[in-house]
Amino acid sequence: MDGNPFFETWNTPFSVPPFERIGTAHFLPAIEAGIAAQTAEIEAIASSPEPADFANTIEAFERSGEALRRVVLVFRNLSGTLSDEPMRAVERDAAPLLARHRSAVYLNPPLFARIDAVFSARQSLGLNGEPMRLLERIHKNFVRAGARLDTDGRARLGEITERLATLGTQFSQNILKDETAFTLKLHGDADLQGLPEEFRAGAAALAAERGIDASHAVSLSRGSVETFLAYSARRDLRETLLNAFLARGGNGGDSDNSAIIAQTAALRAERARLLGYATYADYKLDDTMAQTPKAVRGLLDRVWSAGKAQAAREQGRLQEMIRAEGGNFALAAHDWRYYSEKLLRADYSIDEAELRSYFPLDGMIEAAFFVAGKLFGLAFEERRDIPLYHPDVRAFEAKDAQGRHVALFLGDYFARPSKHSGAWMSAFRAQRRFGGQTRPVIVNVLNAAKPAAGNPALLSLGEAHTLFHEFGHALHGMLSNVTYATLSGTAVSTDFVELPSQLFEHWLLRPEVLRRFARHARTGEALPEALLERVRAARRFNQGFNTVEYCASAYVDLDLHSAPPAEAADPMAFERAVLARIGKPNAIPMRHRGPHFSHVFSGEGYAAGYYSYLWSEVLDADAFAAFEETGDAFNPELAAKLREFIYSAGNLRDPKEAYIAFRGRLPSADALLAKRGLSEATA
């Protein structure tokens, strides 16, 4: 243990991990020691001769596992952003180890007997507010983990949990393997037709960085793929790149995820049955706002019919454009973004390549900070004295209006081969007051294309939305103001957790934000007023496509976790059957196909829950409408309520109660349909 930073006090600014001293070899010993420490703590609680009460059982359980949490939070963050083969090997070893330990905790009969005793006596304990909520959540977590099962049931559930952890790790590593194995090679001007200069420069830098025998190269990061599909005049290369992107995790061989999906679905279904639920979807949704698969399907069906009708109109216009250009082919999936980009220029005089120059990464970071300041009184100062895990990462200290420290925010914005694809928010430390005031350390991870040396990093409008989205999650973690870590920040149901993130996106396109921060990366010129108005007018452009690609993935996720395992034994056939049933247009690909659906199969956060983005969009559309109704997008009174009941409240109350406390009522889907421009887009 000598020299292992996880066994030392961190005398760093804000006690952040001393990344420069942490090596791959340190993780497994620290995880094993953390497991041993919490095992002893749990044994002390479970075997206590004192009658169970809130302090010696519930708060004692809340206090346990601190050493393990510290190493696991660092490990999980770095395994997603600095993944090499040694790190992946540790990940494969640690996944079953951690799952086995979790089962040992949550399936511990003497421990649960004490928790259950406190829960049964809760009305006589004088608890209210947060302590009562903590008791209810811990008890429910134990019940949902199988604590009420008999000996055989607990043993089988432990086996299932351990196997699922291993499968989830294999799933994510297989995707990364496919993503790093493929690069689209471009040779000279013939392969670069239509591509913006800024994209060409980045593609040349990537080819040089990877030592590829080509002048330019394109990776499978989503941002690079979508940009290439929008601008490349080479239809054959668009098809090659999109096919590779859609095939991630499904290419056959040792990185194919099809068998993992089938095993995962079967094990999840078995666990649900053990716990008394008809399907895994029933089990998973029982602890969400939606509560039932029927409620989810009702929302999906309503949005799907309107979205598909709008997509058909969009497809018709794109096909007309192909014919007008003399094309003699049907619109295909690799054509949609290319011709949509042309249509955007025709309808709104918007050139996305030109627009990118007005969305520099630095400006959008400042824009997000500005909105957080206007709404919540936060100020951000870049810190250059903070240990960081990669040279691209930046650190900012968040302070309140009185200059007091609120949180440390890390931004990791650029794609690299060692980083998993996508964008996410995570924490190296969560906020809590129990055991002493602990302020959070929050990180946002994006995968924007890194520019060539000397060039500014530019974002597409979609990537700017992603930055705002993830920063909304970050604010949910940074503004957390609760006593117990179990209830802190984003520890809420999946169909509520997207409300703070999606709501924050609305402020990106506010004129007062764009006028100030959407400035040309080289000239500093503000986004021209006429272009600003066209950008705002185009907010609903291509929403049929966006709705269909998202909902198709949500349907497959819900149906797979609602079906008997035998029906999902061939996941790809099952996926095709679902898409045929709902009538997905062939020209629109799913946003996430099964073999690379990390939301659903790399872990369980969004399993049977990918619908959550749509459910939360009902909330965010209605919530922003509340600001619009006041005539002030930064209305101070409403912003204060938003902070109190949503951003800083963690899981202090039921999500429906939290939303009603902010808005005064629950929303309907009407605001969502209006936001997407689908209100009139019926079949």
* pLDDT tens for each residue of 106-148: 999 999 999 999 999 999 999 999 999 999 999 999 999 999 9
- Average pLDDT, integer, range 499-521: 97
- Average pLDDT, integer, range 64-88: 97
The Cα 525–Cα 363 span in angstroms is: 12
The Cα 142–Cα 471 span in angstroms is: 32
Decide: helix, strand or coil at residue 445: strand
3-state helix, strand, coil in the chain (%, to 5): 60, 5, 30
Q: Give tens-digit pLDDT for 444-481.
A: 999 999 998 899 999 999 999 999 999 999 999 999 99
pLDDT of residue 1: 64
pLDDT of residue 608: 97
pLDDT of residue 103: 97
Cβ burial 449-468 (10 Å sphere, 16+ → b, else e): bbbbeeeebbbbbbbbbbbb
The Cα 553–Cα 596 span in angstroms is: 11
Instruction: Say whether pLDDT at 406 is over 80.
Output: yes
Question: How many C-beta neighbours within 10 Å does residue 509 have?
Answer: 18
**CATH class name, domain 361-540:** mainly alpha
Decide: helix, strand or coil at residue 379: strand
Q: What are 161's two structure tokens?
A: 């949990």
Task: Give DSSP secondary structure letters for 304-350.
Answer: HHHHHHHHHHHHHHHHHHHHHTT--S---HHHHHHHHHHHHHHHH--
pLDDT of residue 133: 98
91 assigned to active site: no
Q: Give tens-digit pLDDT for 582-603.
A: 999 999 999 999 999 999 999 9
Question: How many C-beta neighbours within 10 Å does residue 333 have?
Answer: 19
- Contact yes or no for 57/118 (Cβ under 8 A): yes
The Cα 592–Cα 95 span in angstroms is: 24
Q: What are 458's two structure tokens?
A: 């530019």
**CA proximity to 647, closest of 406, 416, 423:** 406
The strand order across the sheet containing 379-383 reads 379-383, 394-399, 405-414, 441-448, 424-429
The alpha helices in 583-682, defined as continuous H runs, are 598-601, 612-630, 636-642, 655-663, 670-676
The Cα 559–Cα 139 span in angstroms is: 29
Cβ burial 310-330 (10 Å sphere, 16+ → b, else e): bbeebbeebbebbeeeeeeee
The amino acid present at 427, given as its one-letter code, is A
What phi and psi values does residue 219 have, to the nearest 5 degrees? -90, 180
Q: What are 294's two structure tokens?
A: 């029927």
Radius of gyration of the chain (CA): 25
Query: 470, 505, 549, 604: which one is catalytic?
Result: 470
- Widest pairwise Cα distance in the chain: 85
pLDDT of residue 640: 98
Burial class (CB in 10 A: 0-12, 13-18, 19+), 220: buried
Instruction: Say whether pLDDT at 287 is over 60.
Output: yes
From-to residues of CATH 1.10.1370.10 in the chain: 280-329+549-676
Q: Give CA angle at 550 (549, 554), nearest 5°.
A: 120
The neighbouring-strand residues paired with 425 are 444
Instruction: Say whether pLDDT at 682 is over 50.
Output: no
pLDDT of residue 2: 75
**CA proximity to 68, closest of 94, 43, 87:** 94
Q: Across the chain, what does the average pLDDT equal? A: 96
Decide: helix, strand or coil at residue 52: coil
- Average pLDDT, integer, range 97-106: 97
From-to residues of CATH 1.20.1050.40 in the chain: 5-106+108-148
Decide: helix, strand or coil at residue 539: helix
**CA proximity to 448, closest of 199, 92, 187:** 199
Describe the crossing of helices 543-560 and 293-324 by its angle, rounded to 10 degrees.
140
The amino acid present at 4, given as its one-letter code, is N
- Average pLDDT, integer, range 603-610: 95
- The separation between CA 595 and the C-alpha centre of its own chain, rounded to angstroms, equals 18
pLDDT of residue 679: 74
The amino acid present at 383, given as its one-letter code, is R
Burial class (CB in 10 A: 0-12, 13-18, 19+), 385: exposed
Fold of 280-329+549-676: Neurolysin; domain 3 (1.10.1370)
Dihedral angle of Cα 528, 534, 535, 541, to the nearest 10 degrees: -160
**CA proximity to 602, closest of 218, 170, 292, 194:** 170
Task: Give DSSP secondary structure letters for 269-312.
Answer: HHHHHHTT-SSHHHHHHTTSSS-SHHHHHHHHHHHHHHHHHHHH
CATH 1.20.1250.20 fits 5-106+108-148, yes or no: no
What phi and psi values does residue 410 have, to the nearest 5 degrees? -110, 135
From-to residues of CATH 1.10.1370.40 in the chain: 361-540
Sign of CA dihedral 602, 605, 611, 616: negative
- Contact yes or no for 179/248 (Cβ under 8 A): yes
- Contact yes or no for 375/639 (Cβ under 8 A): yes
Q: Give tens-digit pLDDT for 611-639.
A: 999 999 999 999 999 999 999 999 999 99
Instruction: Say whether pLDDT at 27 is over 50.
Output: yes
pLDDT of residue 353: 87
Residue-level length of the chain: 683
Burial class (CB in 10 A: 0-12, 13-18, 19+), 294: exposed
